[in-house]
Amino acid sequence: AAGVIQSPRHLIKEKRETATLKCYPIPRHDTVYWYQQGPGQDPQFLISFYEKMQSDKGSIPDRFSAQQFSDYHSELNMSSLELGDSALYFCASSLGAGISGNTIYFGEGSWLTVV
């Protein structure tokens, strides 16, 4: 079965650079989520989209932006990167709202290292 696809899996950027992460949700899933997980931390909710419209917003820095495109893939754009942005970034998708117990499926994550 198709899963959530994220790219790239690893990337290294320098401070103040820009990075873009891509996510391809499971086909026919209508909701996409982005999470940030630092070492030894729990996943922190950044933002979600429902049917290509922004749904909920969490602790996403102003330097970050995200959007979902007509083909349902989503991108997380991160600018003016800081050392503290080094983390594992997960994209997830679900069919229906996660609050209803609909399973949220996570991708394998994108490792971002800022040096």
Partner 1 sequence: GQSLEQPSEVTAVEGAIVQINCTYQTSGFYGLSWYQQHDGGAPTFLSYNALDGLEETGRFSSFLSRSDSYGYLLLQELQMKDSASYFCATSGSARQLTFGSGTQLTVLP
Residues at the site binding partner 1, with contacts judged by CB under 8 A: 31, 33, 41-45, 48-50, 55-56, 58, 88, 90, 92, 97-101, 103-109
* In the complex, minimum distance from the CB of residue 73 to partner 1, in angstroms, rounded to a whole number: 17
In angstroms, rounded to a whole number, what is the distance separating the alpha carbons of residues 97 and 81?
Answer: 31
Which CB, 45 or 61, lies closer to partner 1? 45
Nearer to partner 1, 39 or 84 (CB): 39
Least distance in angstroms from the C-beta of 35 to partner 1: 8
Min dist. Cβ of residue 37 to partner 1 (A): 9
Rounded to whole angstroms, how far apart are CA atoms 80 and 67?
18
Q: Output the CA torsion sign for 108, 82, 15, 40.
A: negative
3-class SS shares of the chain: helix, strand, coil, % to 5: 5, 50, 45
By beta-carbon proximity to partner 1, the closer residue of 60 and 79 is 60
Please state, in angstroms and as integers, the Cα–Cα distance from residue 83 to each residue in 16, 28, 103, 104, 115, following that order.
9, 36, 33, 29, 6
Q: Which is nearer to partner 1, 81 or 89 (CB)?
A: 89
